[in-house]
Amino acid sequence: MRFDAGLALSLLFFAALGVTVVRIVLRPQREPASRIAWLIAVFAVPVVGIVAYLLLGEARISAKRRKRYRAIEAHLPHPHEKAAVRRGLARTAYAAPFALAETVNSLPPTAGNRARLAADSNAAIREMVDDIDNATSTVHLCFYIWLADENGFRIKNALVRAARRGVRVRVLADALGSRGFIRSAYWREMQGAGIDARVALPIGGLIWTLIRGRFDLRNHRKQLIVDNRIAWCGSQNLADPEFRVKPRYAPWVDIMTRWEGPVVRDCQFIFAADWESEHGDDISDLLVDGAEPPPAADPGIAAQIVGTGPNLRYAAMTACFVSLIHAARRELVVTTPYFVPDEQLIFALLDCARRGVATVMILPKRNDSLIVAGASRSYYADLIDAGVRLYEYRPGLLHAKTMVADGEVALIGSANLDRRSFELNFENNILFMDKGFAGEIRTRQDSYLADCDAVTAQDVANTGMPRRFWRNLLAMLSPLL
């Protein structure tokens, strides 16, 4: 029987098409709109669609890494119950966001925390360097982007100084976001000084990526933990505000917070899980409950860590944002550089404004991602129609990720209001309740508003049809990401 190459290729193609369609339909944790979008893409341009789905369609990590995550979660010690803190929060209107956040990492809310807001990006770097220079036992650092610029060097030099005086320094930098720094002599300098520097989520070649999972599943966290008693959390990368790799959009405007108290141990928990996932040593002895109880007259800040990623069974970060939006009673103010919502987030924001909550959103006027900028603006008409007050920040790229409800509760950290943060990235945020510190974040948001242009219904109405078509097309394609 003569071999028919054309028939064999046809059979192979239809088999690949059938397998891809089955995978799309069976994929868990996906909105119906996402499945439909992928099915349309695969049937419209089959070869491109199949390859694209294999590369981008599933937020999967390798079975080996999943097994490692489960083992790490099983052996890391979790904190004891904080029943008194939970009971106190239960008496407020904001119990739901904290209860939901606890399901993510099994880290309960803590009390007796203290926090400080850095004046700006450069001040945050200076204060982090001071904390590293005063470290006596351990320094743990995990950041998405690390650039070889002045601020990047300041952190690097401080880490080297700490290691040379005997402090145990452990460093994680994302393989994609910090690729230039990881490949540089500065990385080798740190290792030569005794720093245990590891690459988070290493990237292989194309074939290995198809086997292992998506190359764009990234460790987007931004945190520094010093001596198990100080933690930094926020939106800032280890870089100058001028962000010289994308100077056109500078300055990058970020927000960083410095924490002391029991919440630091929970930041350490997130780092320990990341560290062991990259084959670092066991640091679980640092996770014991050791923070001093607060004075009776000073309950401090109630705070809770939320560490999410594609290893979780559901889109936990989305759920936490949405829960806080639903909890807002009088006012909700949000800043995010990247706004590509899923259905539950956009409906939560619309409903928030419609039920009479003063809802304000601040986005960058100039975004370093034209695709994200277009998709974001496709939602402007619906948001304004629902009563959301929209503003665009002029001076640079507003990179701060903040959400403040009623001037009392806030959620800050590394996560954006986009599908990448919700489904693909490992993120770290802090949910907290305290009128004083939430008020400081709210005041910082007002400083952003002072440099904003309001987006009006007339502005949206004046948008031409070609531009509206392009923006809506980008939003329609966003479930493919």
Domain check: are 131 and 221 in the same one? yes
- The arithmetic mean of pLDDT across residues 67-94, rounded, is 85
Q: pLDDT for 211-266, tens place per residue?
A: 555 667 899 999 999 999 999 999 999 999 999 999 999 999 999 999 999 999 99
Catalytic-residue membership of 67: no
In this prediction, residue 61 has a pLDDT band, given cuts at 50, 70 and 90, of: low
Q: For residues 352 and 329, what is the distance between their CA atoms, to the nearest angstrom?
A: 9
Domain check: are 164 and 201 in the same one? yes
In this prediction, residue 190 has a pLDDT band, given cuts at 50, 70 and 90, of: very high
What residues contact residue 265 under an 8 Å CB cut-off, 6+ apart? 79, 228, 286, 287, 288, 289, 290, 291
Domain check: are 177 and 286 in the same one? yes
Instruction: Please say which residue of 268, 300, 332 terminates a domain.
Output: 300
- DSSP state at residue 94: T
Domain check: are 284 and 345 in the same one? no
The CATH number covering residue 249 comes to 3.30.870.10
More confident residue, 244 or 3: 244
The domain in which residue 160 lies consists of 113-300
In a domain, 71, yes or no: no
Domain check: are 291 and 368 in the same one? no
Domain check: are 367 and 296 in the same one? no
Domain check: are 132 and 214 in the same one? yes
Q: What is the pLDDT of residue 54?
A: 72
Q: What domain count does the chain have?
A: 3
Counting residues of the chain whose pLDDT is more than 70, the rounded percentage is: 91
Active-site residue identified among 174, 222, 240, 254 = 222
Instruction: Please say which residue of 267, 300, 333 terminates a domain.
Output: 300
Catalytic-residue membership of 82: no
Residue type for 287, please? L
Q: For residues 399 and 422, what is the distance between their CA atoms, to the nearest angstrom?
A: 17
Counting residues of the chain whose pLDDT is more than 90, the rounded percentage is: 70
Cis peptide before 108 (omega within 30 of 0): no
Q: pLDDT for 282-300, tens place per residue?
A: 999 999 865 445 445 567 9
Q: What is the pLDDT of residue 291?
A: 46
Catalytic-residue membership of 453: no
Give Cα 463 to chain centroid, integer Å.
Answer: 31
In a domain, 327, yes or no: yes
> What value does the mean pLDDT of the chain take?
90
pLDDT at 456 over 90: yes
Q: What is the pLDDT of residue 434?
A: 97
Q: What is the pLDDT of residue 211?
A: 56
Domain check: are 291 and 377 in the same one? no
In a domain, 369, yes or no: yes
Domain check: are 278 and 327 in the same one? no
Torsion angle in degrees (nearest 10) through CA of 473, 477, 479, 481:
-140
Catalytic-residue membership of 298: no
Q: What is the pLDDT of residue 40?
A: 79
Domain check: are 179 and 326 in the same one? no
Domain check: are 471 and 379 in the same one? yes
The Cα angle at residue 329 between residues 334 and 397, in degrees rounded to 5: 5
Point out the least confidently predicted range of 90-94, 121-125, 171-175.
Answer: 90-94
In this prediction, residue 53 has a pLDDT band, given cuts at 50, 70 and 90, of: confident
Choose the most confident range, by mean pLDDT, from 17-26, 36-45, 280-289, 380-389: 380-389
Active-site residue identified among 174, 220, 266, 434 = 220
Q: What is the pLDDT of residue 302?
A: 96
Catalytic-residue membership of 406: yes
Q: What is the pLDDT of residue 300?
A: 92
Domain check: are 283 and 325 in the same one? no
Adjacent-strand bridge partners of 223: 142, 233
Point out the least confidently predicted range of 210-224, 337-351, 368-382, 401-415.
Answer: 210-224
Q: What is the pLDDT of residue 39?
A: 80
Torsion angle in degrees (nearest 10) through CA of 27, 28, 31, 35:
10
In a domain, 77, yes or no: no
Active-site residue identified among 133, 227, 451, 459 = 227
Q: pLDDT for 153-167, tens place per residue?
A: 999 999 999 999 999
In a domain, 470, yes or no: yes
Active-site residue identified among 82, 140, 156, 401 = 401
Residue type for 394, please? R
Whole-prediction pTM? 0.90
Strands (DSSP E) along 315-441, which ranges? 331-335, 339-340, 358-364, 389-393, 397-398, 402-405, 409-413, 417-418, 427-433
In a domain, 81, yes or no: no
In a domain, 100, yes or no: no
Active-site residue identified among 266, 406, 418, 434 = 406
The Cα angle at residue 392 between residues 258 and 344, in degrees rounded to 5: 75
- The arithmetic mean of pLDDT across residues 52-75, rounded, is 75
- The arithmetic mean of pLDDT across residues 70-91, rounded, is 84
Active-site residue identified among 82, 131, 399, 434 = 399
What residues contact residue 272 under an 8 Å CB cut-off, 6+ apart? 72, 76, 283, 284, 286, 287
pLDDT at 137 over 50: yes
Q: What is the pLDDT of residue 3?
A: 55
In a domain, 457, yes or no: yes
Catalytic-residue membership of 222: yes
Q: For residues 408 and 442, what is the distance between their CA atoms, to the nearest angstrom?
A: 9
